[in-house]
Structure 1
Amino acid sequence: MAADVNEQPAGYARLLEPSSLTAIAQVAAVIAERRPKHVVFTARGTSDHAALYAAYLTEIRLNLPAGLASPSAITLFGARPDMSEALVIGVSQSGGSPDLTEVLRVARASGALTLAVTNNPDSPLTSAAELAIDVVSGHERAVAATKTYTAELLALLLLVEGIRAGDGRLPADERAALDTLPDLAERTLADPLPGQLAARYRFADRMVTTGRGYAYPTAREAALKLMETSYLPALAFSGADLLHGPLAMTDPDVPVLAVVGAGPGGTAMREVVTKVGERRADLVVVGPADVPGAAARMPVPQVDERYAPLLDILPVQRLALALALARGEDPDAPRGLHKVTSTL
């Protein structure tokens, strides 16, 4: 897992090479020409969080309604929704889950434009789709997904911005900003604090993670990583939902991990952090600036809010790794889990 985590800056650099940019731009141009009316994502697990991030991007940057499909509606209940005006995107590291493949097959049969985003260009998901994007992250050693997740995030960001451009090609200022990501990721991974925090939470019974907007998928992925590597029960909430009741369970014995960045999402999270502070919860913040009331902050460079999830998740992955080791667990092979999970 440590090796996979540390390879992420190189993964960003690969996706930003001309060959990868051109391949994604070609897909984006086809989609822009087809002008879908709405976008439906289908994914499971970690990839579901990447899809959620892309749904935010789609609605904010493309002004298209976006949502996440319920695969079981098709695979278990036999639903055949009319997706003839939709772009349907399957996101999966392995591309091997039968239910996601079936969603794309049914969607394509109904007239939808379908796209597979995977780390396996020879997968069943890719075969079922009209278009495909390879996230080129290479072999992932650990069961818990890390570098494939961030590769999906960047590939989906490049796709959405390419669709917005119309011809798939990124504006020069956008390209220049994205080219800084590998170096920023290296800087973020070099910070020692995530490893030090493992001792603080070694005996925690549960944890809450929270964020708003682009940061909400990070909060969900953070909870998943903590659960699957350390077996630490972790509940993820959007900042808004946390205030609608679950806030009552936070107290000094329940650590809260809050993703608080720049931009509208980060501004909205400050109210959440204030409320959490009033509960005297043990608060750790992931973000570029100190937040009053936080016991600690895992620092990340300040970037455009759209790019922040590519950096915010990195210290969380390192925390999950260190915490698993501190609790005597094996983060490379969590019990009961396999790299490819087949669901129907």
Structure 2
Amino acid sequence: MIEHTAQEAGAGMAADIAEQAAGYERLLAEGLAPIAAVARQVAELSPRFVLFTARGTSDHAALFAAYLTEIRLGIPAGLASPSSITVYGARPDLRDALVVGVSQSGGSPDLTEVVRVARESGAHTLAVTNNAGSPLADAAQLHIDVLAGKERAVAATKTYTAELLALLLFVEGMRTGSGQLDAADRAELDRLPELARTLIEDPTPTQLAARYRFADRLVTTGRGYAYPTARETALKLMETSYLSALAFSGADLLHGPLAMTDPDVPVLAMVGDGPAGRSMSEVLGRLAERRADVLVVGNGAPAELPAHAVRIGTPAVDERFSPLLDIVPMQRLALALALARGEDPDAPRGLKKVTETL
């Protein structure tokens, strides 16, 4: 649900972004035990694969969870195509699978239908929402509340990062089998709220907005855990500044789309400190050859940045946790850029919070 009253343009989105550190604290304090209980139940069920279903911003959180599931649990995971069920009437055999619906509002009819059909076909079902009383939560056997509170702006920010953390806690809880986190992970996650605050207060994204004020097109890229951040960044820029923003994995960017990059098409590259971040070195090198306008975001340390590239550094954390921090400066860039272009990111033209698609 959105609180939207007459106020300064962007005030709602700014307030939502500012609440993310407190949201992490709340989820770690109040949500950890309920999520651990769900993780323990699902671990006992031993699903043979995990299928996530989501739309929009939540789709990027689901993609992050799919990476976690395969890398950390060794269980095949993927994202469902809701229209195969809601439009074509398909009834796939989902026995012994875990189907996870991820939605901030929990009010999307097509996701609710996917979870309902999956449950009828023998799947274990879980809803991850910001609304415990939603249709999606009612349709699933299990539910995780991301505890983000009311969101003021149409463009999702704090609900996205709350979904990321909730899904991370769930997957890591499944990995231990007890639902509890490893001590090292818990210690690092306890630092998360304060690290988020440093990024919320960093003026760099606002200062960089002028660099992209007159851009018509933009590319975002990343690999592994950083790829969902690239996709979410592109979506935020599209829905608040009406930019034509395209997101590619670093590998896909090298296969054709690289041809669109030049000094007039900015590239926002998510580069973390881990295997995926190191694999972005070739991408950055090819972008340098094309004299692309590059912004590198993250805690990775590329051996060489393209000429004229700029950088937004983020705190050094485990690669799994970087998406919970790297998106914050990108949200703030989207906010500042929209305002610089004379737009109101709280209420993007023609958009509403819940898109009803069947």
Give the TM bin, normalised by the shorter chain: over 0.9
**Equivalent residue, structure 2, for 1:315:** 329
Quick check: 33-42 or 266-275, which moved more? 266-275
1:12 matched to 2:24? The reply is yes
The AA in structure 1 aligned to 2:118 is: A
Q: Distance in 2 between matches of 1:172 and 1:212?
A: 27
Residue 173 of structure 1 and its aligned partner are, at CA, apart by 1.5
The AA in structure 1 aligned to 2:327 is: I
Residue 71 of structure 1 and its aligned partner are, at CA, apart by 0.4
Q: Distance in 2 between matches of 1:164 and 1:244?
A: 35
Q: Distance in 1 between matches of 2:310 and 2:271?
A: 12
| Structure-to-structure mapping, 1:1-344, within 5 angstroms | 1-17=13-29, 19-289=30-300, 291=302, 292-293=305-306, 295-344=309-358
Q: Distance in 2 between matches of 1:90 and 1:282?
A: 37
Give TM-score scaled by structure 1 length: 0.99
Give the secondary structure class of the aligned counterpart of 2:333: helix
Q: Deviations over 1:23-58 (max 9, x none)?
A: 000000000000000000000000000000000000
1:188–1:299 CA contact under 8 A, matched in 2? no
Q: Distance in 1 between matches of 2:250 and 2:155?
A: 25
Residue 287 of structure 1 and its aligned partner are, at CA, apart by 1.3
Unaligned runs of 5+ in 1: none
Residue 85 of structure 1 and its aligned partner are, at CA, apart by 1.4
Q: Distance in 1 between matches of 2:253 and 2:152?
A: 35
Quick check: 164-173 or 126-135, which moved more? 164-173
Give the secondary structure class of the aligned counterpart of 1:329: coil
1:290–1:297 CA contact under 8 A, matched in 2? no
Residue 290 of structure 1 and its aligned partner are, at CA, apart by 5.3
Give TM-score scaled by structure 2 length: 0.95
Residue 270 of structure 1 and its aligned partner are, at CA, apart by 1.3
Q: Distance in 2 between matches of 1:145 and 1:170?
A: 27
Q: Distance in 2 between matches of 1:63 and 1:207?
A: 35
Q: Distance in 2 between matches of 1:157 and 1:39?
A: 14
Give the secondary structure class of the aligned counterpart of 2:92: coil
The AA in structure 1 aligned to 2:16 is: D
The AA in structure 2 aligned to 1:338 is: K
Q: Distance in 1 between matches of 2:182 and 2:68?
A: 17
Q: Deviations over 1:102-156 (max 9, x none)?
A: 0000000011100000000000000000000000000000000000000000000
The AA in structure 1 aligned to 2:140 is: A
Superposed CA RMSD in Å reads: 0.8
Residue 337 of structure 1 and its aligned partner are, at CA, apart by 0.5
Unaligned runs of 5+ in 2: 1-12
Q: Distance in 2 between matches of 1:249 and 1:171?
A: 44
Quick check: 188-197 or 139-148, which moved more? 188-197
Residue 202 of structure 1 and its aligned partner are, at CA, apart by 0.4
Residue 289 of structure 1 and its aligned partner are, at CA, apart by 4.8
2:273–2:301 CA contact under 8 A, matched in 1? no
The AA in structure 1 aligned to 2:71 is: I
Residue 189 of structure 1 and its aligned partner are, at CA, apart by 1.5
1:206–1:234 CA contact under 8 A, matched in 2? yes
1:91–1:116 CA contact under 8 A, matched in 2? yes
Q: Deviations over 1:181-227 (max 9, x none)?
A: 00010111211110011111100010000000000000000000000
Q: Distance in 1 between matches of 2:119 and 2:216?
A: 45
